[in-house]
Structure 1
Amino acid sequence: MSQESKQETVTSTQSTGIENNAVSDEYLSKRQLKKGVAGWIVLASLGVSYVISGDFAGWNFGLALGGFGGMFIATLVMGLMYICLVLSLAEMSSSLPTAGGGYSFARRAMGPWGGFLTGTAILLEYAIAPAAIAVFIGSYVNELIGIDGPIVYAAFYLTFVGLHLWGATQALRIMMGITLLAVIAIGVFAFSMVSHFSVDNLFDIAANPDVAGSSRFLPEGYMGIWAALPFAMWLFLAVEGVPLAAEEATNPAKDMPRGIIASMLVLIVFAAVVLLLVPGGAGAEAMKAHGAPLVGALQSVYGLDSFAAKFVNVVGLFGLIASFFSIIYAYSRQVFALSRAGYIPRFLSLSGQRKVPVWALIVPGILGFLLSLSGEGDLMITMAVFGATISYAMMSLSHIILRKKEPNLERPYRTPGGIITSGIALVLSLVALASTFIVSLQAAAWSALFYLIMVTYFVLYSRHRLVASAPEEEFDIISSAESELN
C-alpha cells in the first residue's frame, strides 16, 4: 500500500452519501500543472484551435439535413447560444480558475453530483471529438496521397499525444503555429472563392415535397432546421474548453475572459466565411456530403489539380490538426481534474517531471483511436454534441445558481445581461440536445450508455473516495464547516 493510501482518512460524509477523504501532501505534489504558460493571446489561440477543424469538415453534413436555409438558421441559433455561453463562462472562469473548467463551476454551484454529471458530459464530448476529427484528417490525407484509415489515425494520435507529453509550453507553442497556418488556409480559400459566389448555388438542393414547410430556402422544411443544429454546433464546438487552461494561465482573472471572448469573435467570422462561400461557390448539393468541403469547392471552380485546391488541402489539413491537437490538451485537463478530485481513477491525474498529466493523455487517446476505427465521422459528431449540450445546460445553470447563491463572490468580469444571458444559453442548449435524437437515435443511445456506465461507477465506488484537498472539493468542506458554526 502506498504512503498516500495509508494516510487517507474520511473527513466528511454528507447526507447525499458523498465522502471526502484526506490524503498526504505527496498526493497533490504528484499532480501538478505548469503555471503561467498561457497569456490571453495564447488562450484565444487555444479557443480558435479547439474549433477550427469544424470549418474544414463536418459542418456541411447539415446541408444535407436542412439545405442552406436550414443550416443558416441553425447556425444563427447556435451562434447565439455560444455567445451567451461564452459570456457566462468568462465570468465563472475569472472567478474560479481551476483546471476543471465547467466541471468546477458546476461542482461549486450544485455539489458533487452536479460537478460529476457536468464533467462526465464534457469528457464524452472531448474524448469523442478527436476521433471524429481523425476521420476527417483521413479524408484530407487521402485527397493528398491516397492513404486513409487506421494507419493515418494511429500516426496522428501517436504524434500529437507524444508532443503533449513533451511539455505544456512546447505543445502550446506548436499549437499556435499550426493554428496560424489553418487561419491562412481559410484566408486563401475566401480570397479564391469570393468572386465565384452565386446566391443561386446556395439553393440548388431540391425541395422535399413530403415534409411540412419545404421550399427552395428550406428544402427539408421546418424539421430541417432542427436536424441541422448539431452540425451548426460543429462550427463552434469546444470553444468552451478555454477555461480548462485556467491553472496554466498567467493571470486568470484578466486573461480568461479576454481569451475566450476573442476566440468566439474570430470563430463567428470563420463560420460566416465557410457557410456562405462553400455552397455559394460550388453548390449546396455538391458539397452536402463532401469529406473535405473547402478543397471540394475550390476543385469545382479551379479544377482538381489547381494550385488553390492543393494549397488549401495541404495547409487546410493543419486546421484539422490544430483542433485534434488542442482537444487532446482539453481532454487531458478534464481527465486530470476529475481524477485529482477522485471522481474517476486517481492514477489518471499523475503528472511526470514535465508537469503534464501522462495517463490522462494516453488512456483517452487509446480509446479515441479505437473509436476512430469505425470511420463514422458524422455519427461521432452527434455523440460529441450530445455530451456538449448536456454540459452547456449544466454550466449555464451553474452561472444562474452562483449569481443567486453567492452574490458576493469576487467576479473580476461580469457577464453582460447577467442570468438572462445564461438563461438563453440554457434554453437553447436543451433545444440542441433534443435535436441529437432527431439526427441519430443510435448516437444518442451510445452516448447515454457511456453516461450510464460513468454514473454507475460514481454511485458504487468513487463518491465514497473523493479527495478533500482537491481545489474543487476544498470550498465545499469549508462552506459546510462555516454553515455548522453559524
Structure 2
Amino acid sequence: MTEKSTEQLKRVLKPIHLWAIAVGLVISGEYFGWNYGWGVSGTIGFLIATLIITVMYVTFIFSYTELTTAIPHAGGAFAYAYRAMGPFGGLIAGYATLVDFLFATPAIAAALGSYLHFLYPQIPIIPSAMVFNLLFVIINISGVKESATFSVFITILAVGELLLFMGIIGPHFKMANYLAHPMPFGWGGVFAALPFAVWFYLAIEGVAMVAEEVKEPKKNIPKGYISGLATLIFLALGVMILTGGITDWRIFSKNMDYPLPEAIAIALGKANGLTKIFASIGLFGLIASFHGTILASSRQVFAMARSGYLPRFLSGVNHKFKTPHWAIIVAGLISCLALLSGKTDQIIVLSVLGAIVMYLMSMASLFILRKKEPNLERPFASPFYPVFPAVALFISAVCLFAIMYYNFYISLLFFAGLAVAIAIFVLMGKHKVRLTEENMVAEPGFVGLN
C-alpha cells in the first residue's frame, strides 16, 4: 500500500539557478581529472577524444532535455527507463545513475583535499576531504533554495577564475610544447582517453534531479541545460589547450589532482603571490561541483527510495527544510567510504562508467517512448530526431566498450554490483510490482512512500 504524504519539496528554482547547478555540477572537471587523459593519449589524442565527447554531449543533452521536460521527475533516467522499459529498465538506469553521482562526489572531495594540501602541505588530504563532506551535507540539508543560491555565487566565482587562469597562462602558450609527443599511443590512446574526456562534462545531466523543484520546468530546464553546456565547452577547450602549451605537458599527466595551480606556478614561478592566490580561489570550482553532486546524488537516492527500489526511510523529507535529509546523509557516508578505498583516477573511471550506461539507457528510453507514447506532451522535442539521439547512443556505446577494454577490473566491479542489485531485486519480488503514475511523475511536488 502507498499513501500520499503531505510533505512536498518547493518549486523555487529559476533559470539562473539551473545554469549554476548545471555548470557547478561539472566545472570541477576543468580543474582536475582531465589531465589523466594526456597520460594515455597525448595532447592531440586527447583533443580528438574531447571533440568526440563534446559531440556526444551536445546531441545527448538536446535529446535528454526532451525526456526531462516531458517527465519532470527527480529520478531522472530511472524514471524515464522505468516508463519506457519497466522495472528492470528502471533498475539498471537507476543503478548506473547512482554510481555516476555517488562516485563523482568522492573524486571531487579528493581533489579538494589535494588543492588544500598544495596550499598547506601540513594538512592531510583524506581528513580534509572528510570535513568537506560533512560541511556540505549540512548545507544541502538546510534547504534547496538556499543551496541553489549558494551554487550561483560559487559557480560565478569558479567561472571567473577559469577565465583568469586562461588570461594568465595564455601569453606563455607555445604551440611547439602542445604539439610535442601529440599521439604517443596512436588511435588506441584516443579510445583509452574517452572516460577522462567525459569527465569534462560529466554530471550536467544532474539538472534533471531537481526537475520537481523548478518553476515552470518545461520552459526553464532547456534554458539551464543549453546555457550551461555552452559555458562548459568553451571552458574545457580553453583550459586544456592553453595548459598543454606552457611546458612539457607530461608533467601534468600522472598522479596530479591540482594541474591548474601547477600550471600557474610554472608560468609565473612558485614564489609568485598569484600562484597561491589562484590555488586558494581554485577551491571554489571544486566546491561548486562537490556541492552539486551531493545535491544530485541525494535526489537520485530519494527518488529510488520513494519508488521502493531502495529502503523506504531514505525517501523521508525534512519537515522544516523540505529536503530529503536521510538521502543526503547516506550519499555523504558513501562518499566518505569511497575516499578510503581507491585512487582518484579509478574513482573517476567508475563514475564515468555509471554515466555512460545511464546515457545509453536514456537514449534507448527516448526511442521507445517515441513509439510507445507518441501523444506524450513534449514541450521540448529533440532537434533533428532521430539523428541526435542516435549519435549520442552510438558514441556512448563506443565509450562503454573502450572503458571495458582499458579498465577491465573496474568494469567487472561495476557489473558485479549490478548483478547483485538485480538478484536482490528479483528475490524481493520488486520486478512484479508496478509503480503507480503518481509515484513516478509527481506533480506538482514529491509524493512520499511510507
TM-score range, shorter chain: over 0.9
2:317 aligns with one of 342, 351, 354: 351
Quickly say closer, same or farther: Cα 1:466–1:401, change in 2 above 3 A: closer
Structure 1 residue 114: Cα displacement? 1.0
- The separation in 2 between residues aligned to 1:474 and 1:358, in whole angstroms, is 19
Matched, 1:24 2:7: no
1:421 and 2:398 matched: no
Distance 1:360 1:77, change over 3 A: same
Equivalent-residue separation in structure 1 for 2:243 and 2:77 (angstroms): 34
State the TM-score, normalized to the length of structure 2: 0.94
**Is 1:468 the counterpart of 2:445 in the alignment?**
no
Look up the equivalent residue of 2:207 and give its one-letter code. Answer: V
**Is 1:172 aligned to 2:172, yes or no?**
no
Q: CA deviation at 1:331?
A: 0.4
The answer on 1:456 being equivalent to 2:384 is: no
What TM-score does the superposition give when structure 1 sets the normalisation length?
A: 0.87
Question: Once the 2 structures are TM-superposed, how far is the Cα of residue 473 of structure 1 from its aligned partner?
Answer: 7.2
The Cα RMSD (Å) is 1.6
Match of residue 106, structure 1, among 60, 75, 81: 81
Moved more, 176-185 or 121-130: 176-185
Deviates more, 1:146-155 or 1:333-342: 146-155
Q: The residue matched to 1:100 in structure 2 has which SS?
A: coil
Cα distance change of structure 1 residues 444 and 236 upon mapping to structure 2, 3 Å threshold: same
SS at match of 2:376: coil
After TM superposition, list the pairs within 5 Å mapping 1:242-281 onto structure 2.
Answer: 242-281=207-246
Cα distance in structure 2, aligned partners of 1:355 and 1:65:
45
Residue 110 of structure 1, CA deviation: 1.4
Consecutive unaligned residues of structure 1, counting only runs of 5 or more, are: 1-7, 9-22, 206-216, 476-486
Deviations 1:45-81 (A, max 9, x none): 1110110000000000000000011100100111111
Map residues 196-275 of structure 1 onto 2, 5 A cutoff.
196-205=172-181, 217-275=182-240
Q: Which moved more, 1:381-390 or 1:396-405?
A: 396-405
Structure 2 CA distance for aligned equivalents of residues 242 and 139 of structure 1: 27
Q: Aligned match of 2:355 in 375, 383, 388? A: 388
Runs of 4+ aligned residues of structure 1 deviating over 6 Å after TM superposition are: none
Cα distance in 1 for residues equivalent to 2:30 and 2:105 = 15
Distance change >3 Å, CA 474–CA 189, structure 1 → 2: closer
Are 1:376 and 2:343 matched, yes or no?
Answer: yes
**Which residue matches 2:264?**
298
Q: CA deviation at 1:40?
A: 1.5
How far the C-alpha of 1:259 sits from its partner, in A, is 0.7
Matched residue pairs, number?
A: 439
- Look up the match of 1:341: 307
Question: In the aligned structure 1, how far is the partner of 2:349 from the partner of 2:147?
Answer: 28
- 1:204 Cα deviation (Å)? 3.0
Q: Give the CA deviation at 1:149.
A: 2.8
Residue 32 of structure 2 contacts residue 257 of structure 2 at CA under 8 Å; is this kept in 1?
yes
Q: In 2, are the aligned partners of 1:88 and 1:396 still within 8 Å (CA)?
A: yes
Structure 1 residues 466, 131: CA separation in 2 closer, same or farther (over 3 Å shift)? farther
Q: Which residue of 2 aligns with 1:20?
A: none
1:38 is paired with a residue whose SS is coil
Tell me which of 404, 415, 418 is aligned to 1:437.
404
Distance 2:285 2:417 in 1: 29
Q: Is the 8 A contact 1:106 1:114 kept in 2?
A: yes
Write the distance in 2 (CA, Å) between the matches of 1:447 and 1:148: 29
Query: Which one-letter code corresponds to 1:187 in the other structure?
Result: L
Give the drift of 1:241. Answer: 1.0
Q: Deviations over 1:13-50 (max 9, x none)?
A: xxxxxxxxxx123xx334x3222x11112111111011
Residue of structure 1 equivalent to 2:128: 152
Say if 1:189 and 1:308, in contact at 8 Å, map to a contact too: no
Q: Deviations over 1:444-472 (max 9, x none)?
A: 12212221222222111233556536432
The answer for unaligned runs of 5 or more in structure 2 is: 444-450
Render the CA deviation track for 1:334-388: whole Å, top value 9, x for unaligned.
Answer: 1111110111111111011111111110112111101112350000000001111
> CA deviation digits over 1:196-219, x for unaligned, max 9?
1111111334xxxxxxxxxxx311
Greater Cα radius of gyration, structure 1 or 2: 1
Q: Tell me if the contact between 1:278 and 1:287 (Cα under 8 Å) persists in the aligned partners.
A: no
Q: What are the equivalent positions in structure 2 for 1:180-199 lying under 5 Å apart?
A: 180-199=156-175
Contact 2:70 2:218 (8 Å CA) reproduced: yes
Q: Indicate the residue corresponding to 1:316 in structure 2.
A: 282
Compare relative contact order (CA 8 Å, sep 6+) and give the higher one, 1 or 2. Answer: 2
SS for the counterpart of 1:281 is: coil
Distance 1:422 1:168 in 2: 31
2: distance between equivalents of 1:410 and 1:92? 10
Q: Is the 8 A contact 1:295 1:309 kept in 2?
A: yes
Matched, 1:125 2:93: no
3-state DSSP class of the match of 1:33?
coil
- 1:417 Cα deviation (Å)? 0.6
The code of the aligned residue for 1:194 comes to G
Note the 1:404-415 alignment, pairs <5 A.
404-415=371-382
Q: Distance in 2 between matches of 1:467 and 1:350?
A: 18
- The answer (yes or no) to whether the contact 1:90–1:261 under 8 Å persists in 2 is no
Q: Go from structure 1 to structure 2 and tell me whether the alpha carbon gap of 1:181 and 1:67 turns closer, same or farther (over 3 Å shift).
A: same
8 Å Cα contact 1:341/1:468 also seen in 2: no
